């Protein structure tokens, strides 16, 4: 079921919900430059296992509104998330990939807001991304700024960026991550202002996210793609030292896009963790 939430900032946030609305709530937040459709198979698996699963398009991404003022700080995304959770009126287990993980961490680790979160799953992201890996992602995102002449051209760009992943024969799913502009070209389905925003003031971000991590008390799972250059062993060690109650899973033959590379194993790890939570906490 497709839903729209009007958040406190006045933006319309699009989402897909699966499962029984009375079941435990799980909210999934995609990475920068992605859309909620990145979670397609995961939402299906979670809903089949007894969770009410909500995958959202972050502001400036997919079918959600772009922010006219270019307000794409971590806390802006977090405030949208809190507004949605309040409307559903019960706390959520948060599953965040990359940027989505940073947003989830900023909620779970905020003393005044953490009541809205009862579990945290970080998908191939530590307290902060590895600098080199992060820059590689941003460079890839910037490389499509002039648009693509066809969906096939966009697919070729992805294959060059993710050589370990087999190129799909059916490219129809890629349409959900692209928008056809008036000039006849396909562009990634996100606001170009987003890149400028997250590229600014990285040092301040790192300090704030470290502060959030120091306060996390909810059950936490860190999932790493074995081939990832965004969550390296150094970032893993820092995360496990900072949040020592964290459970850790590494998924073989997966890079940064863990859910896309090995969704079967990823979804099973997430379900196992969530199913064993102590609901009496």
Flag whether pLDDT at 129 surpasses 70: yes
Q: Which residue has the higher pLDDT, 168 or 154?
A: 154
Residue with tokens 């062993």: 233
What are the counts of helices (DSSP H) followed by strands (DSSP E) for the chain?
10, 10
How do residues 28-42 score in pLDDT, each as one tens digit?
999 998 899 989 889
- Percent of the chain at pLDDT > 70 equals 95
- C-alpha to C-alpha distance for 262 and 258, rounded to whole angstroms: 6
Flag whether pLDDT at 277 surpasses 90: no
- Phi then psi for residue 223, to 5 deg, are -115, 130
How do residues 224-234 score in pLDDT, each as one tens digit?
988 888 899 99
Flag whether pLDDT at 281 surpasses 50: no
Q: What is the mean pLDDT of the chain?
A: 89
Flag whether pLDDT at 103 surpasses 50: yes
- Percent of the chain at pLDDT > 90 equals 58
Flag whether pLDDT at 111 surpasses 90: yes
Flag whether pLDDT at 51 surpasses 90: yes
Q: How confident is the model at residue 205 (pLDDT cuts 50, 70, 90)?
A: confident
Flag whether pLDDT at 140 surpasses 60: yes
- Phi then psi for residue 150, to 5 deg, are -160, 165
- C-alpha to C-alpha distance for 35 and 109, rounded to whole angstroms: 24
User: Residue 261 has what pLDDT?
Assistant: 62
Q: Among candidates 182, 193, 181, which has minimal Cα distance to 154?
A: 181
**For the whole model, what pTM was predicted?**
0.91
User: Residue 279 has what pLDDT?
Assistant: 54
């Amino acid at each position: 079921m497709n839903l729209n939430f009007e958040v406190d900032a006045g933006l319309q946030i699009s989402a897909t919900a699966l499962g029984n609305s009375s079941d435990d709530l799980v909210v999934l937040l995609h990475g920068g430059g992605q859309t909620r459709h990145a979670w397609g198979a995961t939402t299906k698996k979670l809903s089949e296992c007894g969770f009410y699963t909500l995958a959202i398009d972050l502001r400036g991404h997919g079918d959600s509104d772009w922010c006219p003022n270019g307000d794409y700080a971590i806390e802006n995304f977090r405030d949208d998330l809190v507004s949605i959770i309040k409307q559903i009126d019960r706390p959520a287990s948060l599953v965040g990939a990359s940027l989505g993980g940073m947003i989830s961490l900023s909620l779970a680790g905020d003393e005044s807001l953490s009541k809205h979160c009862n579990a945290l799953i970080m998908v191939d992201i530590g307290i902060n991304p590895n600098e080199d890996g992060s820059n590689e992602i941003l460079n890839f995102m910037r490389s499509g700024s002039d648009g693509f002449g066809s969906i096939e051209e966009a697919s070729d760009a992805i294959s060059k960026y993710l050589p370990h992943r087999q190129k799909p024969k059916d490219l129809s799913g890629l349409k959900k991550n692209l928008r056809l502009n008036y000039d006849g070209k396909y562009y990634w389905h996100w606001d170009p202002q987003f890149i400028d925003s997250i590229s600014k003031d990285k040092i301040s971000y790192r300090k704030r996210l470290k502060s959030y991590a120091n306060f996390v008390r909810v059950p936490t799972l860190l999932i790493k793609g074995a081939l990832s250059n965004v969550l390296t062993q150094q970032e893993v060690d820092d995360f496990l030292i900072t949040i020592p109650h964290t459970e850790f899973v590494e998924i073989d033959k997966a890079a940064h896009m863990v859910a896309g590379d090995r969704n079967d194993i990823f979804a099973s790890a997430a379900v196992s963790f969530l199913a064993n939570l102590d609901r009496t906490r």
